[in-house]
Structure 1
Amino acid sequence: MKFAGYYWRIIRINGDGSIRIIYDGTSAHANGESSDDRQIGNTVYNNLRNDNAYVGYMYTSGQVHGLETDSTIKGVLDDWYTTNIANKGYGDKISKEAGFCGDREPSTSSSSSNGAGGTGTIATYYGGYIRLVNDRKEPILKCNSSADLYTVSGSNKGNKALTNPIGLITADEIGMSGAVWNINNYNYFLYTGNTVWSISPSYSEGWFNTRMFLIDSNGWLSSDYVDSIWGIRPVINIASDVTLSGTGTANDPYIVEGAE
């Protein structure tokens, strides 16, 4: 898809009919193609990893589902959205209803959810870990907590905490797209040859060990510390009432009319 002067890949159609897309560069790229153009840069997710709170796209120290402070990566994405979408007058093409699920459902068990943990340095396994790791492949598209569904104030659902309707892909969406924990995959549409952040917490095994899910440079679902430096691929939701042209191929991509 072509939107706002950039190319995007379609992740899925949301329940409200909006189109969920992930940034894919300034030119069209083939599946399996390695390219730094397919991300907007690199950053830490958060600057610190000595507290479970730092898995949040927004977070509050001492709370599992807090929303007081922006993560480092959220600040980068907000700036990018302002410059490349809002200031170009394309904000009306973006859904204000759809959100981004950073599932912080905690558990002190790695195999089943018990609702415990999630604060301080308590060893914690988050919802995505239980669904997608340890030989389990059970991705979902529903967000378990409205506090973890990041939406803007105009939405009828979620936490209504976002200033701008922009986020990251979830680990569940990565799994549904073809990635598997610790198994290489160079051929599916999310592979870029780079390691890229998701919005989904993975696990923490105590002090200085807070991790997020990633798309690894070999295409598999992985995780790393929140203060590691990895790639950023913005995710937005195109409103359901836009007009599209094109056939959806690399040579003739879908184009959001009025926002090419």
Structure 2
Amino acid sequence: GLVNTYLEKSLSYTLEYKTTKDGTYQLLDTAHTNVPQSDRADDYNLAKNITIPAGSTYYYKLNITFNNLADINQEADRTAILSTKFNLGEAIVESPSLYTLKKLKLTVKDGNPDFATTATTDETEDGLYSLQDDYGTSYYYRGAVENNYVKFGGFFWRIIRINGDGSLRMIYDGTQAWPNANGATAIWESDRHIHIKPWNANYNDAKYVGWMFGGDDGTASTKQNIDGTETSETEKGKAATYNQTDSDLKELWVDPWYKTNIEDKSLSKYIGDEIFCNDRSTAPSGSTWWTSENTTYKGFGVNTTAYGGAYRVFDSGGNVKTPEPTFVCPEKNDAFTVSDTTKGNGSLMYPIGLITVDEIVTAGSGSYGKNNQYYYLYKKSRYFFWSFSPNNYIGNSANLFKINVSGGLHNANANDGSSAVAPVINIAPQYAKTMVGEGSMTSPYQIPGVD
């Protein structure tokens, strides 16, 4: 409790906080200007509201000032007493993602959209939709969104979603802020991607749907996963999903771009290590997701295979169905991270990836094969854009999902050299919640002091 026998206005106070040890203190809204008077130990609220996201550490500083009160005799203050102890009171747990959402001045809406329908208006203008991910509740934008712009590293980005840990997942969108197309036909804007390159030169093995894969590029895989019986890297490399060798797109283009544009500019500290899901899950042994699959041999060599993304987009006959997106990565081995080996695989060199088929659907693409020239992912480009999600292996071809030139969800052979790259990164939670701006083209979200 607080004991304060000083005169009424003799002691004033301020309360400050910072979210990182080396950060800058910011003033909190306090419940009083002066330290409350009390001649016995009573409880008082010094701050109106203190919110600390679950799992976070904040730093606080209380400043108490003895004031010289003009025209008031303060002789009694010579023997006055100030004694107190502090606590945070009863904790109200708020998820990190909800905290970031509120800091960005956003709200939440109930229910789920019709994922089969293209989102041609801003469906999240009155609040973001939510879906569970590997960290908690994720909040995502959908449709012709106009308040998800970010400026970072000299580039403009569009927020895909707030991850469950409070970080911001965002996709590259050029060196200037582009407006939504609002149904306009392609006008060949080339500023909104970093490269136009194939996923991998080789594509005649199921392993080539992987961001990384087992064995050397050009050697055949003979099983889907490692099983613990292998005694060497060579034996492990026979498994299609063993994360041993980089795909061409990762090694030659995406990783070097990150090093040049993020790491070499000393921006890495702002980037989180959240999962990029290269979902290579398949139907359990003894069953199939496609009628053309073998019940036992899937996911390696030249065996016809439907992957998890295809299962959520097509029915067992390969026909288009209402998509069933998920932000939870089915297999830890496919959950690409740099150093996180609790939830992820720890196989990445740099924390950068691509958008998933599930994120394309939740953003508003509609069912497979539909076009959408209104939502924020449509880039008015002559090029298709790679996703991070395998579709299938069929007809001696490893195939992945992509966004086509009309904004629709489509398919591409891994060797397709006409597909562009729009990388995805995550702004770490401790910086996501400090962003200023309105998220608009003219006032994009930014980390204070970072261009």
Counterpart amino acid of residue 416 in structure 2: S
Counterpart amino acid of residue 259 in structure 1: V
Q: Which stretch shifts more, 30-39 or 18-27?
A: 30-39
* Contact 1:132/1:175 (<8 A) preserved: no
SS in 1 for 2:439: coil
Gaps of 5+ in 2: 1-149, 216-220, 222-238, 315-319
SS in 2 for 1:9: strand
Counterpart amino acid of residue 137 in structure 1: P
Shift of 1:130: 1.0
* Contact 2:404/2:410 (<8 A) preserved: yes
Corresponding residue number in structure 1 for 2:270: 93
Give 1:23-34 correspondences, 5 Å limit.
23-32=172-181, 34=186
Shift of 1:110: 2.2
Give 1:144-163 correspondences, 5 Å limit.
144-154=330-340, 156-163=342-349
Corresponding residue number in structure 2 for 1:70: 246
Following the alignment from structure 2 to structure 1, what is the Cα–Cα distance between the partners of residues 190 and 427?
24
Corresponding residue number in structure 2 for 1:249: 440
Following the alignment from structure 1 to structure 2, what is the Cα–Cα distance between the partners of residues 170 and 202?
11
In angstroms, what is the RMSD of aligned CA positions? 1.8
Go from structure 1 to structure 2 and tell me whether the alpha carbon gap of 1:22 and 1:187 turns closer, same or farther (over 3 Å shift).
same
Go from structure 1 to structure 2 and tell me whether the alpha carbon gap of 1:197 and 1:89 turns closer, same or farther (over 3 Å shift).
same
Following the alignment from structure 1 to structure 2, what is the Cα–Cα distance between the partners of residues 182 and 41?
24
- TM-score, with length taken from structure 2: 0.55
Counterpart amino acid of residue 247 in structure 1: E
Shift of 1:122: 0.2
Counterpart amino acid of residue 176 in structure 1: T
* Percent of aligned pairs with the same amino acid: 40
Shift of 1:245: 1.3
RCO higher in structure (CA 8 A, sep ≥6): 1
Following the alignment from structure 1 to structure 2, what is the Cα–Cα distance between the partners of residues 50 and 124?
13
* Contact 2:369/2:410 (<8 A) preserved: yes
Shift of 1:106: 2.0
**Is 2:325 the counterpart of 1:136?**
no
Shift of 1:247: 0.7
SS in 1 for 2:430: coil
**Is 2:358 the counterpart of 1:182?**
no
Q: 2:211 aligns with which of 47, 57, 66?
A: 57
SS in 2 for 1:241: helix
Shift of 1:26: 0.2
SS in 2 for 1:176: helix
Shift of 1:205: 1.2
**Is 2:410 the counterpart of 1:222?**
yes
* Contact 1:244/1:254 (<8 A) preserved: yes
Go from structure 1 to structure 2 and tell me whether the alpha carbon gap of 1:9 and 1:112 turns closer, same or farther (over 3 Å shift).
farther
Following the alignment from structure 1 to structure 2, what is the Cα–Cα distance between the partners of residues 189 and 46?
27
**Is 2:349 the counterpart of 1:200?**
no
Following the alignment from structure 1 to structure 2, what is the Cα–Cα distance between the partners of residues 251 and 155?
39
* Contact 2:292/2:304 (<8 A) preserved: no
Corresponding residue number in structure 2 for 1:48: 202
* Contact 2:386/2:421 (<8 A) preserved: yes
Shift of 1:156: 3.3
- TM-score, with length taken from structure 1: 0.94
SS in 1 for 2:208: helix
- Length, aligned pairs only: 258
Higher alpha-carbon Rg:
2
SS in 1 for 2:438: coil
Shift of 1:203: 0.8
Corresponding residue number in structure 1 for 2:425: 236
Following the alignment from structure 2 to structure 1, what is the Cα–Cα distance between the partners of residues 257 and 442?
26
Corresponding residue number in structure 1 for 2:290: 110
